[in-house]
Structure 1
Amino acid sequence: MTSTRKAFVAGLAAALTAALTAALVGFAGGAQAATIFTDNFEDGDSAGWTASGGTWSVAADTSRVLRQSGTSSDARSRAGSASWTDYTVSTRVRPTAFNGTNRFVALAARAQSATSYYYVALRSNNTVELKKLVNGSATTLASTSVTVSAGTTYTLSLQVSGSTLRSTVNGGSTLTATDTAYAAGGIGVATYYASADFDDVTVETTATTPTTPPATTTPPPTSAPPVPTGGPIGFAGVNALGLNGTTGGAGGRTVTATNATDFLEYIDSTEALIIRVQGQINITSKQGVRPNKTIIGVGTSGHINGGGLDFYRSYNVIVRNLLFTNAEDDAVNVGQESHHIWIDHNTFRGAVDGSIDIVRGADYVTASWNHFDHSDKSMLISHSDGASSTDVGHLKVTIHHNFFDNSRQRHPRIRFGEPVHVFNNYFLNNELYGVASVQQAGALVESNYFENVPFPCFSASGYADSGPGRLVHRNNVFVNSGTCEAAGTVAEPRTYYNYTADSASSVPSSVRAGAGYGRL
């Protein structure tokens, strides 16, 4: 596997599209998205891209990016196939300068040429617009207000499915429109009198709705998300501390939160609840969650922005299918003797501190199928070298099938907890380190895939000011990476629960396909 993983091959694109279309039609209503193109520019080139205008290059930022450095004209760079029809294209973009008050950076789909395509534009006048360009003439299809600042990174997505267009910014600020100008085409990134860095461009197929839906005697549900069944793998499923696994709000009422007032009322309720999160919920700081709750996003709309969730002597809670962005502190803090917490299929972006912290005597936690998207501090287990009195004998955590995607550190950083079971995770381009087991902690690192990770594991040497810990590793794959530092022995997780570890070689494809919100 190359670091860039360019899945697009020009000679096969048309055939691939035809095959995917046939599969979608033949499997109406049950098709799943497939990645047909991805480029993170880590190979140092922009092969497969065609630029017009501006000054384009692959440059080094925290990772390699596609950089457009000119600010005196239009600039575009396109890739993909003219035969692509229904898909979602996404990218991370950081505008670096705007030459004027109404300039923009953009992401394009169904591109016919350098002057004809659909696009979503982030403008310097604090708007986002869904537009089409026909022979250089632009038409706005939908728009809304969003704060746009040079130096800030945004995740843009643009979905084209039949005549329906849908764009998002950081998973929210959703715009939709209907248009029939273009039925197929490639992708592109663009700037208008602005400079910007683009990274992590991905194209996934979009399943189409069958023309004639199957007959049914009652209307199908249109908004209820799946309630977790089968329970978590790992420590959150263990019979301990008076709970036989983690069931969340099962048996309680189902409610829907579409605003912060209702959401905060529901998570603070003393009753068992299944709380459906629909749309972007803007909160501040860390908000307490009482026991016996399932907090689950509806489709791809569930989004917690600005603040996070806090567990203080709480228990039996499921947090699932949510996008967390821009948390002022931690996105999820499991603390103060909380136990039986299952954090599953979420995406974490832009937390000021940790994406997930598990601290102060917490126990029986599983973090599974989460996407840590360019996070800094992904996961901390025990908050301090001086926390032995509260943490020794606790902090039993399972971490499996997570995507540590260009995240810098703490995957996790562990003090005192044992065993912490880290298996079947995909570590990609982690700048500082993968797993650090320090301060007497005991970690089993098993069947993971490390790619471009200089220091996969620390243990015997300690880390920073923390003393040594213990770490056992087995059946991992290392690609352009160092090796794990082993030390001592660790309690075997199988003495607590049964599990089956996948082959490490299969982890990148399965985790890319399944980790994060919207993948249930």
Structure 2
Amino acid sequence: MDRLRWQLVVATDGSRVYRQSGTSSDARSLAGTASWTDYSVQASVKPTAFNGSNRFVALLARAQSSTSYYYLALRSNNTVELKRLSGGSSTTLDSAATTVTVGTAYTLRIDVAGSSLKGYVNGTLLTEATDSQYASGRIGVATFNASANVDNVQVTSAAPGPDPTDPTPDPPGDPGPNVADGWASVDAWGQNGTTGGAGGPTVTVTTAAQFVAEAASTGPKIIQVSGLIALPGPMHDVSSDKTIVGLGANSGFTGGGLNIGLPIDNAVTSPPANAVHNVILRNLNFRNWADDAMNVQMFSHHIWIDHNTWTTGSDGGLDIKRGSSYVTVSYNHADGTNKNMLLGHDDGNAAQDTGRLKVSYHHNFFDETRQRNPRVRFGDQVHVYSNYYLNTGDYGVAATENSGVIVEGNYFENVDDPYHLAEADSGPGRLVARNNCLINSGTGETGGSVSNPPYPYTITTACDIKAVVTAQAGVGKVGLPGGRPARPRRPLPDPPRPP
């Protein structure tokens, strides 16, 4: 099934939205075809009024008729519910608490694949269930004693196959999750998970001037980078609540890098209220950067760095330092980088870093990277799992300055020193290694104990990780958004205006 974009009726105020203006009863509208089976449907839904308590606005999937379908409902009692309607009779399959405010737009998404149903709000998975009553059906929107505006409806197949009219095949392999996991998913410091620019407008940039302005702007925003943009060095600021995603496999930056964080202030020893937070970087190339390709600093938190590719530059590929925390680094391809990933600024920065620097590194391809994969100071419950290390020059992972690092389920190939304690003038940390696959590699050095991280995760058999990571890591292999440029699609027919 093709990806479809549905931007609907022109409202009387000139905004291109699909609108239900009355609140006296229920209303619904369907589109698509009854043969659609496994797909994702997403829309921006803004409730504008609720007539009474426990009313809702909803997104529909696998609709059989106006009285039989699955739906994800945002209710006025601050809940989201994944439900099944059968002949007009509803069954709640799963529910979760979430804030629902009149006048606020929410990105709702339902994924249906086989009997699996998942419901997302603003990019965060909140509800899931298994139900086999409906195997296929149309999409739709609905209200129950509520008014709402609906915009930007997108339908995407769950497992797209090659398009015979498109010479560029879909990339192989499962692209990994489309929501942040690991430490970036943990609720902390006033932020619930990592959603980036979800709920904000989407803009596409093609020049350095456009990108620099959009990245530093206030408010949530999804910034699509089209082509390889030459940035003046060294680094450029990214503000809170941003998703920066490359279109296709050849978009990103050369010459300059990205800074996620406030200016350095050594006197600040606890997270400030204005710390940069909730940022997603996905599907971006970084080449020939003048300082760092990516720098996360000064208590920045809830950062997801996913499916990017970087090569060589003046300094580090990815530095995370000065009290930053709740970061996930996943499915990236570091290609030949020398100072690859630093975690922790220096040995004298304990005041800012102790108890922080909580980072997950998983499913990354460390491809002939020389050192710092990562090099850790002070960070505790640093989780390095399911990565592939190939021909690492100096060392893989270094745990220093009483850091606590778990090295788990990784594949080391031709790595003389896969992991160790202490490095240069830095004192030893604590490192626990388990279930790693060591091929023509050293045995590594461990010591001390480290608590397991608080989030759920799955470990693949380590000696199978090489194939998984090489198929999935890097640009051009990510799901929604940005796996490759969207192909022109036939539009859905305009649905009837709801009553």
TM-score by length of 1: 0.56
Task: Work out the number of aligned pairs and report it.
Answer: 299
Find the partner of 1:500 among 455, 458, 482.
458
Q: Name the CA distance, whole Å, in 1 between partners of 2:334 and 2:376.
A: 17
How big is the shift at 1:519? Answer: 1.0
How big is the shift at 1:504? Answer: 0.4
1:264 aligns with 2:212: yes
- Unpaired runs of 5+ residues, structure 1, are 1-29, 31-206, 214-226
The equivalent residue for 1:6 is: none
2:176–2:472 contact (8 Å) kept in structure 1? no
How big is the shift at 1:212? Answer: 9.9
1:248–1:272 contact (8 Å) kept in structure 2? yes
The equivalent residue for 2:437 is: 477
The equivalent residue for 1:72 is: none
The equivalent residue for 2:71 is: none
The equivalent residue for 2:164 is: 210
1:280–1:301 contact (8 Å) kept in structure 2? yes
Find the partner of 1:249 among 169, 194, 197.
197
Q: Name the CA distance, whole Å, in 2 between partners of 1:515 and 1:228.
A: 9
How big is the shift at 1:301? Answer: 2.9
Q: Name the CA distance, whole Å, in 1 between partners of 2:213 and 2:176.
A: 22
How big is the shift at 1:390? Answer: 0.6
Q: Name the CA distance, whole Å, in 2 between partners of 1:211 and 1:307.
A: 37
- Unpaired runs of 5+ residues, structure 2, are 1-38, 40-160, 168-174, 262-274, 479-499
1:277–1:301 contact (8 Å) kept in structure 2? no
Q: SS state of the match for residue 354, structure 1? A: coil
1:304 aligns with 2:253: yes
Q: Identical aligned pairs, as a percentage? A: 51
Find the partner of 2:281 among 319, 325, 342.
319
**Map 1:140-179 → 2, pairs under 5 A:** none
The equivalent residue for 1:289 is: 238
**Map 1:456-471 → 2, pairs under 5 A:** 456-459=418-421, 462-471=422-431
The equivalent residue for 1:233 is: 181
Over 3 Å counting, the alpha-carbon distance change for 1:414 and 1:400 in structure 2 is: same
1:385 aligns with 2:347: yes
Find the partner of 1:415 among 377, 385, 393.
377
Structure 1 segments of 4 or more deviating over 2 A? Answer: 227-230
How big is the shift at 1:447? Answer: 0.3
Q: Deviations over 1:399-443 (max 9, x none)?
A: 000000011000000000001000000000001000000111110
The equivalent residue for 2:308 is: 346
Q: Deviations over 1:233-256 (max 9, x none)?
A: 200000111111000000000000
Q: Deviations over 1:124-152 (max 9, x none)?
A: xxxxxxxxxxxxxxxxxxxxxxxxxxxxx
1:406 aligns with 2:354: no
2:187–2:193 contact (8 Å) kept in structure 1? yes
Over 3 Å counting, the alpha-carbon distance change for 1:347 and 1:211 in structure 2 is: closer
How big is the shift at 1:347? Answer: 0.3
1:355 aligns with 2:317: yes
Q: Deviations over 1:208-248 (max 9, x none)?
A: 641599xxxxxxxxxxxxx9975212000001111110000
1:231–1:245 contact (8 Å) kept in structure 2? no
Over 3 Å counting, the alpha-carbon distance change for 1:289 and 1:491 in structure 2 is: same
Q: Name the CA distance, whole Å, in 2 between partners of 1:272 and 1:228.
A: 24
Q: SS state of the match for residue 249, structure 2? A: coil
Q: Deviations over 1:306-355 (max 9, x none)?
A: 11110113100000000000111110100000000000000011121110
Q: Name the CA distance, whole Å, in 2 between partners of 1:435 and 1:351.
A: 21
TM-score by length of 2: 0.58
2:334–2:369 contact (8 Å) kept in structure 1? yes
Q: Deviations over 1:134-181 (max 9, x none)?
A: xxxxxxxxxxxxxxxxxxxxxxxxxxxxxxxxxxxxxxxxxxxxxxxx
**Map 1:436-447 → 2, pairs under 5 A:** 436-447=398-409
Q: Deviations over 1:473-517 (max 9, x none)?
A: 000010110012111001211xx2011111101111010000001
The equivalent residue for 1:490 is: 450
Q: Name the CA distance, whole Å, in 2 between partners of 1:412 and 1:322.
A: 20
1:285–1:308 contact (8 Å) kept in structure 2? yes
Q: Name the CA distance, whole Å, in 2 between partners of 1:418 and 1:503.
A: 25
AA at the equivalent of 1:279:
G
The equivalent residue for 1:149 is: none
Q: Name the CA distance, whole Å, in 2 between partners of 1:432 and 1:304.
A: 28
The structure, 1 or 2, with the larger RCO (C-alpha pairs under 8 Å, 6+ apart) is 2
Q: SS state of the match for residue 294, structure 1? A: strand
Q: SS state of the match for residue 245, structure 2? A: strand
